[in-house]
Structure formats: C-alpha cells, structure tokens
C-alpha cells in the first residue's frame, strides 16, 4: 500500500470484515491504528474487529509514504500576544500569518494545532508549546518564549472549546471542558474554577454553562460554554 499525498487517502480501501457466519458485514465496526515501522515513511496499519461471538480478529498491512517528511510547525518568535489572545491563540496567530503546520506532504493542517503554555512567576514571559498530529499519528511540536501583554491584569481562564454538541441522553461533564486557569501572582488556579448553569441531556435544546475563577486579589474572569443537545 502506497500513498504520495497527492490523492485522497482511504485507509479502508480493500478492507472487508465479516462476522463468524461468513456473511454478515461488520466492516463499519473495524478499528484502525497506524504505527511507525522501520522509518518515518514506513508504517504498519493494524485493523481489528470483535465478532458477535466476542472473539477479536486482527490483520495488518504495510504502508509506504512517498516523499514524506513528517509533520512540521512554523511559529513566529516576533509575534505580539495579549492576555485576551490566550482564549483562542491559534486562530489569532493564523490571522496574523504567524503560524503554519503541514502534514508532511505540504498540506495545510494549521487549524488542528493544539497548544499549552507555562507562565514564569518572575516575569511576563510565557513558554508556548504548539503541537500537531497528522493522520498517520506522527507528531510535531514547537516552543516559543513570548511576553504576554496585559498578563498582570488578572487571571486567565481557557476552555477546551466554546461550543459542544451532544446527543440526547449523552453524559455531560462540565469539568471536561476546562483547559487551564492561571494567574501571574497566584499561579495555577485550575482546581478553583467553578461553574453555573445546568444541562439536561434528556431534553433537546441549547444550554449555557458559565465558568469563573478569581485570584487572591478578587479579580475574576469568566468564560461561557454553549451546549447543544439534540
């Protein structure tokens, strides 16, 4: 199996899974993982499925990636970041043309970048680490050290997302969407984050959960998560 990055890639091409009776198609239940073999351009694709009798079936094949360099991230060290940018930093950097990631074939995967940051108590400088993972499970990371303007104004609170869509009957855990809370003076406040608002996943509709946290000086910050149930 070969892939050059120029055409659409279907990891399930040629794969069929049948249940123990030899007739029932269970291809849609197949799990797939990709692991690196002898080099970054050589992969092993492992397929597994559990039949109706509870037995696990496994098969694999090799994948060669042609002219593949692995994912990469490029971030400007000269970018100006404010405390307000921390809520959605990747989008801000994209708008400033200050960040880009590709999948190893030159395809843009910038919007899949995730990040975390570490603030230093004795300065306004932060260490930002950006990470991206492509469809072949290869990962690239890039760190920069940047001063954050306005970071002394109060705590920052970052959620993993601003909206979430749930199916009726799903379990909603509000703590799952808290990424971090930090104050320049008090340090990590993540465990102190509180929230208000109820989500009834048994009833379709739109709900809002408000998160908040305060530092030792009483300065607070809030973020809102919109939850759609349907």
pLDDT at 7: 86
State yes or no: pLDDT of 199 exceeds 60.
Answer: yes
In whole angstroms, give the CA distance from residue 221 to residue 157.
7
Which domains can be identified in the chain, with CATH numbers? Answer: 2-65 (2.60.40.10), 72-149 (2.60.40), 156-229 (2.60.40.10)
Q: Could you tell me how far CA 38 lies from the centroid of its own chain?
A: 27
Q: Are strands 125-133 and 139-149 parallel, antiparallel or unpaired?
A: antiparallel
d(CA 182, CA 87): 12
Condensed to tens digits (0 to 9), the pLDDT of residues 64-95 reads: 999 999 999 999 988 888 878 877 899 999 99
- The answer on pLDDT for 62 being more than 70 is yes
Which pLDDT tens digit goes with each residue over 124-152? Answer: 677 889 999 999 989 999 999 888 876 55
Element (H, E) at 68: none
For residues 49 and 31, the answer to whether their CB atoms sit within 8 Å is yes
> Using CA of residue 92, residue 97, residue 99, residue 105, what is the dihedral sign?
positive
CB 193 within 8 A of CB 157: yes
In the predicted structure, residue 11 carries a pLDDT above the cut 80: yes
Residue 215 · residue 189 · CB < 8 Å: yes
Q: Locate all alpha helices (DSSP H) within the chain, ordered by sequence.
A: 89-95
Cβ–Cβ under 8 Å, residues 110 and 140: no
Tokens of 97: 């043309």
Q: What is the mean pLDDT of the chain?
A: 89
- Identify the band that residue 116 occupies on the pLDDT scale cut at 50, 70 and 90: confident
190 three-state secondary structure: helix
CA-closest candidate to residue 156, choices 100, 93, 219: 219
Q: What is the pLDDT of residue 136?
A: 92
Per the CB < 8 A criterion, the answer to whether 63 and 46 are in contact is no
Calculate what percentage of the chain has a pLDDT beyond 90: 62
pLDDT band, residue 162 (cuts 50/70/90) = confident
Inform me whether the pLDDT recorded for 122 exceeds 50. Answer: no
CA pair distance 13, 137, nearest whole angstrom:
19
26-50: per-residue pLDDT in tens? Answer: 999 999 999 998 889 999 999 999 9
Q: What pLDDT is stored for residue 216 in this prediction?
A: 82
């Amino acid at each position: 199996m070969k892939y050059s990055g120029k055409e659409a890639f279907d990891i399930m091409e040629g794969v069929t899974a049948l249940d123990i009776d030899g007739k029932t198609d269970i291809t849609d239940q197949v799990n797939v993982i990709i692991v690196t073999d002898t080099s970054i351009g050589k992969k092993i694709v492992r397929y597994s499925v559990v039949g109706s009798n509870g037995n696990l079936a496994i098969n694999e094949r090799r994948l060669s990636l042609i002219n593949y360099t692995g994912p990469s991230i490029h971030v400007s060290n000269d970018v100006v970041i404010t405390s307000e940018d921390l809520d959605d930093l990747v989008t801000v950097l994209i708008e400033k043309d200050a960040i880009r990631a590709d999948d190893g074939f030159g395809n843009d995967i910038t919007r899949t970048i995730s990040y975390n940051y570490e603030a230093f108590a004795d300065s306004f400088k932060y260490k930002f680490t950006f990470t991206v993972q492509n469809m072949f499970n290869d990962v690239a990371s890039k760190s920069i050290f940047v001063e954050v303007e306005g970071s002394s104004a109060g705590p920052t609170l970052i959620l993993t997302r601003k909206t979430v869509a749930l199916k009726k009957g799903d379990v909603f855990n509000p703590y799952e969407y808290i990424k971090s809370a930090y104050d320049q003076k008090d340090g990590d406040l993540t465990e102190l984050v509180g929230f208000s608002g109820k989500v009834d996943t048994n009833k379709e509709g739109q709900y809002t959960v408000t998160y908040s946290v305060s530092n030792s000086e009483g300065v607070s910050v809030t973020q809102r998560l919109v939850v759609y149930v349907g």
